Each structure stands twice: as structure tokens, then as C-alpha cells.
Structure 1
Amino acid sequence: MLIAGRTIAGLCVGLTSALVPIYQSEIAPRKIRGRIVVFQGLAMTSSMMIQYFIQYGCSFLNSEAAFRMPWAIQICPAIILFVSLFWLPHSPRWLASVDRWDEVLRVLAFLRTANDDTNDPLVIAEYREIEDQILSERDADSNSFRELFSRKIRKRVFLSMAIQMWSQLSGMNVMMYYIVYVLQSAGVANPRLASSGQYVINFVMTIVCLMWTDRWGRRPSLLVGAIFMSFWHLLIGGLLKQYGEPNSVANEPYTLVIVGHAAVSRTILACCYLAVATFALAWGPISWIYPPEVVPVRVRAKSVALATAANWAANFALGFAVPPLLRSISWRMFILFGSFNIAAFIHVLFALPETKQRTLEEMDEIFEHGEPLWKPSEPSVKRINSTSLRGILKRAFCLSIGCRKSQRTVDSRLRREIRLV
């Protein structure tokens, strides 16, 4: 019964973890899209914190309720989500993909205006942009499964999968799943209570990320986060190597223990806290923001599903690998995770373009503009300030003589530029 229940729960968590960021990114205005998607991370960190304290309290019960109650309580948010879904609007981009155009306009007006004004100029402009993108994709007449691994899209798909995998290989799960073992090895008194700080910090720093992610940008956050995560892991590994002594107790999950070095124990605890804070500011939220941003609507669900599958596959592998690694290579395990973060830094530096405050319809242009990645593309508003009237007239002329091959793309850009002017 337990295995069957966990299997059903796993299927449901897999579905929602893939679909929620897609939905959020498609209904959000571009200027605050990052913040909207970070709400998923905030919901996860807050629920993890609440559930940890529930489990911590139940650990003092001397009955079957110690494990039955935490599982039973999880029913409540599932019921709330199920009931709430009946009041949530459809994604306007999904509605457009199934030709429900009247509903697209109504949903956009509901999401963007206070009085559901379907005649609002910004609502109409976004409607036209979605329309152009959807119709342009249909003109390509491409099979979505084939296009998912086409030369144009596969780079974005693999990049999304890599971002999700790096977020797991950053070592965050060591700090969350097995933090009690790490703190026991470090000689921290009352490790269960001390580990509760991890969950509080994770929640609080996600709020900070929620406030600033659309200003910091995706690329700088991941680069800085990878460097600092690497530093904390390397420092923990170095301290365990220098001050750790062989564990005299057999069959323990850890083989090194720090005894009589209170300052070292506190330093390792601080490094664990700082590693969690760094992850919550960078890799945690942004690994969920980036995948739904970078792919067209026709393959978005499939691409995000693959990225999420990569996340859970890495999570699954680490769940099995960390306990034996902690026993067999002890302090070297933290050196390994520090190295993973350095590799993630190099990958992001040379492969990941900035996407903040750009519309989902502009992602083709971002990934195909060919400029160095460390020179982020400027938002449309800044680009138009340097666009001359001559350039706009040139595109209008192209439309007037019927350049069929690029007509819809030119039409979309022309409308956007005129609107921004």
C-alpha cells in the first residue's frame, strides 16, 4: 500500500512540477515573469519548512502517528489545489494554439487590466503578438516531436535539461536530505534542531530572490551562485579533512567525526546555512524559470517535461549515491560537489544567454542573434530607441511588396516596434 501510494504521488508531483512553471510563465507579463515563476519555488520552500517542523514535532510521538500524521496532512494542500483549479483561467497561449481566439482576448484582459478591458491597447498589442507567433509556427508546418530535437530547438532543450541537472548536482540535496548526517559528523549538538535552520533560511532567501530576480537577471545569478556554492562545499570538505577523526562507532552513516573543535563545528554549520542561502537566491528558483522561457509554445510542454525529468533523474541518482559516498569517500564527497559547481559555472558562462524582461515570443531572436553571450540582448524598448524611422519604413515597404518568406516575422517585428514607439 505504501509503495502504491508513493507511486501515485510521484506521478502527480511529476505532472505538476512540469506544468506549473509553464502555466506561470505563459500568464505572466514579461517584466515580472521571473517573480511569478519564483512563486513556485516559494511555495515549495515554505511547504518544506512547514512539513519539516510537523515531522520534527511528530518525532517525539511514541506511536504510529509519528509517521502516519505527516503523510495524512499532505492531503490538505492537494485538496485546496484541486478545488482552486476550477477558478484558474486557461493560458492565453494555449487557447491560441487551439484557436479559441475570443477567449485569448478575454483572458489577457482579465490578467492585464483591472476592469477586464478588452480594448486596452497593451492587451490588443500582446494579443497580436501571440497571434503572429502562433500563426508563424503553423506556417512552418513542423511536427512538434521532430522539432523538439531539430537543430534550431535542441540547443535550448539540452540547455534546459542541463540547468535542471546542475541545480541537483550543486549539492543542495546533501544539505537538505542528509544534513543530519553532515552535522553529526561535524560534531554539532542536537543536529535535528540545528537542521531546522536550513528550511527557514531556504524560505527567507527565496523571498529575497522573488523581489530581485528580474533585476539581477538569470545569467549573473547562476554564475555567482555556482561560485559561492563551490566555495562552501570545498570549505566543508577541507575542514573535515583537516580536523576529522575516524568514527569509532561501527555502522554509522559517516566515517569521520570532529571532536573537541567547537569553532570548526560552528563553521561547518555556517557553511551549510550559507550554501542553502546561495542556492535559494540563484539555482533553486532560476532552474525553474529558465526552461519554460526559452522554447516556443508548440514544444514548450515537451521541453519542460524533459527538463523536469532530468531534475528528478539527478535527484533520484543522488538519493541513492550520497549515503554510500558519505561512508566511502567522506570529505572527498564535498570536493566532488564543489567540482560540479565549477563545471556548472563554466557551462553557464559559455552557453547560457540572458532572457530577463524579454517576451516569450522574442526567444528565437535571443538564441539566434549570434552575439557573444556575455553581451546580453537589450530589451525591445531599448532597441527601439536606436531604431530609425528609415528602418521601420524599410520593413513596411517589404510588407507592401509581399516578401512572403519573411512576411509574418517582419509583420510581427514591425507591429512591436511601432507599438513601442
Structure 2
Amino acid sequence: MSTRSAVARATGDTPRRKIPAGFIYFFGAFGGILFGYDIGVMTGALPFLMQDWNLEGDAAGIGWITSALMLGAIFGGALSGQLSDRIGRRRSILVAAVIFAVASILLGVSPHGGLGYMIAMRWFLGLAVGAASALVPAYMAEMAPTRLRGRLSGLNQTMIVSGMLLSYLVAFGLQHLSTTWAWRSMLAGAAVPAIILFLGVLRLPESPRFLVHKGQLDAAREVLSMIRPADAIEPELREIQRTAELESNVAARTSWSTLFQSKYRYLVVAGVGVAAFQQFQGANAIFYYIPLIVEAASDVSADSALVWPIIQGVILVLGSLLFIAIADRFNRRALLTLGGTVMGISFILPAIIAWAMPDANPMLIVLFLSIYVAFYSFTWAPLTWVLVGELFPLVIRGRAAGMASSFNWIGSFAVGLSFPIMTASMPQHAVFAIFGGICLLGVLFVRTRVPETRGRSLEEIEAEGSR
């Protein structure tokens, strides 16, 4: 086999040409949109599914249908790293896109009343969701020039919430179909963006960083020639080689026990704790169940309350754009403290009002939830992953970031499963008051256990933890 053929195979059979940066970022961003769409689509589909399958009294079944996706994502996120190291970032994204499309279609043709089938398919879909949540940002970071990598966290968050908003808009547009066709169309429709992602990524090359790790320097040089100016190719290739060698040396002397050494334990607790608090604070209870929340607070049926997810989606998108504008102007801990405090108060106030004024309009809770979403969208939602990227030194970064991601998905699964069960046994303002207390505990955790990372080197952060 010729060298040229080997290069072509390694780069995904892509001919040597300049690839517009916008093309790479569009389909990288499209992965975030697909990820967000699959997180949000059940919000619109669930009221119709509940009506079609008579699930109104089955709180556990509702919780499992919703949360099975997050349970799958725990495994998908954990497996994606090994898969991408074996077959490459690009091919792993293609595999995830295929699972997205297949699982979405299988959900759309679920047998009537097939609760177990639905839960299993949602778990299967979650494998792709968890994988995409790790693979897409990593691929974009490895393809983008250094000067743009700092913006990718905020951009990825914007794309995810845009995908959620898209799913809410699709649900709103399909609500006038028959009950059965409405939820089936919403779930199966996720196959369309998955196919678009597959076709787009099919035209992209493999990450040069992966190729260097595999010893395919000619192939890596070929990819860099597509996406970098000629004078930047060799310096970046040398930098990738240096980093790969450093990471190889680090991996050889690192194990899971390293995370619990005294010099790193402080940072691991901080990063994993913030990732867990982001979910246990209850944000996903709003995103998954807002139509049911509105139904419980008013006389409007859940399948007629689909404008509320759109309102929450617009708030999320605007908040993510605000974060991009202010991310480097304020300290991380200050933003988390502000967000967590307002979020906690927004959850606790409805319970106080319900106790002090029993005749108050119950829709007040929806107003306070909107305030919660607004502050969550530019503080805890994006900053969690900024901190995870900044807190961990290279020697523990891979394992610690993986642990933080796992705890985040565990929290998302727990909230998705428990919320309908909790609201079936107590008033929903009481449930949100519990989440409000967790928000305030999160603020206390940030103030006492999380170091400030803005404008500080990893060495300075690590030294603080050793004191």
C-alpha cells in the first residue's frame, strides 16, 4: 500500500484540500444541537405518551422513561473515551450518530404500552447522548486553533440549549397531531439531525492529535495542511507530539488511587462536587417536566402547555450567550455564588408564599422557575465545565474529569427519576423547596471547597490545595 493511500485512509479518505473552519465548527456545533435535542424532546412527547398509554398514575414509570436516557449516558460517557482512543474521534462520532438515528426510529415505533421496551430504547439512546457529550467538544477542541479553544465551552453550551429549544419548537408544531402520532413523530424526528450530523462528519478528517497518538505523522501533517496556514503546520505538529509524549509519561505513573493523594484530593472533591451539585440542584426537573409542572399549577392540560418549554428554552439560549460575553470578566466563584443563591431563593419562595398566602396564584411557581432558569443558564450550567477543565492538573485530568462527568450524569438520572415520584407524594412547591436547599448547600460548598481558577495557573491552584 502506498504512503498516499495510508494517509487517505487515516484521514477518512478525504482528499487534500482546505476545509473551511465554518464547516468544521458547524458540524461540531451540530453535535451539540443533536445532544440538546435528545435531552429535551421527551419534555414535549411525555404528555402525549402519558395520555396514549394511560400513565397518569404511574409516577415510577414516568420517571424511568425520562431518566433511562441519563442512565445510558453514564455508560456512554465512560465508554466513549476508550472507543475514541481505539478507532478515533471522527469514527466514534459517526457511531454515536448511527445509534442516535436507530434508537430514535425504534422509539418512534414503540409497541403500544411497551413500557419496558421504551425504557430499554431510551437507555440505548443514552449511550449515544453520553458519548456525544464527551466526543464532540473533544473533537472540536483538537481541530480548532489554540486562540479559539477558550470559547468552545461556552459555544458548546449554547449549541446544547439551542438543541433543547429546537426540540421544544418541534413539539409545539406537532401538538395538533393525534395523540399517538404526536409523541411518535417527536421521538422519531431526532433521527433527522442525527443523519445530518453523520453526513457532515463523514466529510471531515480525523483529529490530528489522534493520528499523532497512533504514530501516523504523515496523516496528521496532511490533516493540518487542510485546516492551518502553511507556516503553522510544523510548529503545531511538534507541539502535539510533545504533548502526546508528556501525556504518555503521565499515564504510565498514574492510577485511580492518584486522585485520592493528599495533594490532589482537594481539587478532585472540588471539581466532582460542583459537577454533582449542578444536577442535584434540580434544573432538569424543570427541563424534563415543565408541562406537567404547569398542569399541576393551573387548569391547563400538559399537552396544551407546550409554550412553556419554549419560554424556558429561549431563556437558556439567551443566558448562554450572556455567559460568553461575561465569562472572563468575573470570578468563577462569584458567578456561582450569585447564581446558586438566586436559584435557591427562587425555589424556596413559592413554598413560603404557599404557606403564608394559601390563596395566592399557584402559577407564581412558574414565574420563579423562570428566574431560576435565567440565573442557572449563565452561571452553573456553563461554569461547571469551565471549572472541570481548569481545576485538574494534567497528571489526574483524564480520570478526574471522567469521574466528574459520571457524577453529573448520576445526578441527572436521580433527579429525572425521583421528581415525578416526589410530586406524587407531596406538593410540588415543597419538592422545589428541597431542591432550593440543595442550591444553597451548593453555594456553601463553592465558598468553602472550591478555589478560584480565573486568571490562575494550574500550578497556583494545585499549590493552594496542598496548603
Given the alignment of the two structures, is residue 369 of structure 1 paired with residue 467 of structure 2, yes or no? no
Deviations 1:339-398 (A, max 9, x none): 11111111112222333466xxx52x133232899xxxxxxxxxxxxxxxxxxxxxxxxx
Deviations 1:286-331 (A, max 9, x none): 2233324433556544433322221121111112221232233323
Structure 2 partner of 1:333: 431
The number of equivalent residue pairs is 346
Given the alignment of the two structures, is residue 209 of structure 1 paired with residue 323 of structure 2, yes or no? yes
Residue correspondence of structure 1 range 6-405 to structure 2 within 5 A: 6-25=122-141, 33-62=149-178, 64-88=180-204, 94=210, 97-98=213-214, 115-118=229-232, 124=235, 134-139=244-249, 141-187=252-298, 191-244=305-358, 261-262=360-361, 265=363, 267-296=364-393, 300-330=397-427, 331-356=429-454, 362-363=457-458, 365-370=459-464
Partners of 1:4 and 1:159 lie apart in 2 by 34
Query: What is the RMSD computed on CA atoms of the aligned residues?
Result: 3.4
Q: What one-letter code is carried by the residue in structure 2 that aligns with 1:354?
A: E
Deviations 1:118-163 (A, max 9, x none): 27xxx84x77666655545555540444544444444434433222
8 Å Cα contact 1:233-1:337 kept in structure 2? yes
Change (3 A) 1:103 1:312: same
Change (3 A) 1:116 1:211: farther
8 Å Cα contact 1:30-1:357 kept in structure 2? no
Partners of 1:156 and 1:54 lie apart in 2 by 41
Partners of 1:107 and 1:311 lie apart in 2 by 34
Partners of 2:396 and 2:215 lie apart in 1 by 17
Partners of 1:61 and 1:173 lie apart in 2 by 27
Q: Report the alpha carbon displacement of residue 94 of structure 1 after superposing the two structures with TM.
A: 4.8
Partners of 1:227 and 1:108 lie apart in 2 by 46
Greater displacement, 174-183 / 152-161: 152-161
8 Å Cα contact 1:22-1:301 kept in structure 2? no
Change (3 A) 1:63 1:230: closer
Ranges in structure 2 where 5+ consecutive residues have no aligned partner: 1-116
Change (3 A) 1:185 1:66: closer
Ranges in structure 1 where 5+ consecutive residues have no aligned partner: 245-257, 374-421
Q: Report the alpha carbon displacement of residue 109 of structure 1 after superposing the two structures with TM.
A: 7.8
8 Å Cα contact 1:106-1:118 kept in structure 2? no
Change (3 A) 1:177 1:352: same
8 Å Cα contact 1:92-1:108 kept in structure 2? yes
8 Å Cα contact 1:160-1:307 kept in structure 2? yes
For the pair shown, the structure with the greater C-alpha radius of gyration is 1
Q: Report the alpha carbon displacement of residue 214 of structure 1 after superposing the two structures with TM.
A: 3.0
Q: Report the alpha carbon displacement of residue 282 of structure 1 after superposing the two structures with TM.
A: 0.9
Partners of 1:370 and 1:202 lie apart in 2 by 34
Partners of 2:296 and 2:367 lie apart in 1 by 14
Partners of 2:296 and 2:338 lie apart in 1 by 28
Q: What one-letter code is carried by the residue in structure 2 that aligns with 1:68?
A: R
8 Å Cα contact 1:96-1:131 kept in structure 2? yes
TM-score with structure 1 setting the length:
0.70
Change (3 A) 1:370 1:152: closer
Structure 2 partner of 1:383: none
8 Å Cα contact 2:171-2:306 kept in structure 1? no
* SS state at 2:232 partner: coil
Partners of 2:259 and 2:143 lie apart in 1 by 23
Partners of 1:291 and 1:371 lie apart in 2 by 15
* SS state at 1:324 partner: helix
Q: What one-letter code is carried by the residue in structure 2 that aligns with 1:180?
A: P
State, as a whole percentage, how many aligned pairs show the same letter: 29
Q: Report the alpha carbon displacement of residue 92 of structure 1 after superposing the two structures with TM.
A: 5.7
8 Å Cα contact 2:168-2:306 kept in structure 1? no
Partners of 2:331 and 2:264 lie apart in 1 by 22
Change (3 A) 1:66 1:137: closer
Change (3 A) 1:195 1:131: closer
Partners of 1:353 and 1:95 lie apart in 2 by 36
Q: Report the alpha carbon displacement of residue 75 of structure 1 after superposing the two structures with TM.
A: 0.8
Q: What one-letter code is carried by the residue in structure 1 that aligns with 2:276?
A: M
Partners of 2:145 and 2:266 lie apart in 1 by 25
Change (3 A) 1:13 1:30: same
Change (3 A) 1:118 1:196: closer
TM-score with structure 2 setting the length:
0.64
Greater helix share, 1 or 2?
2
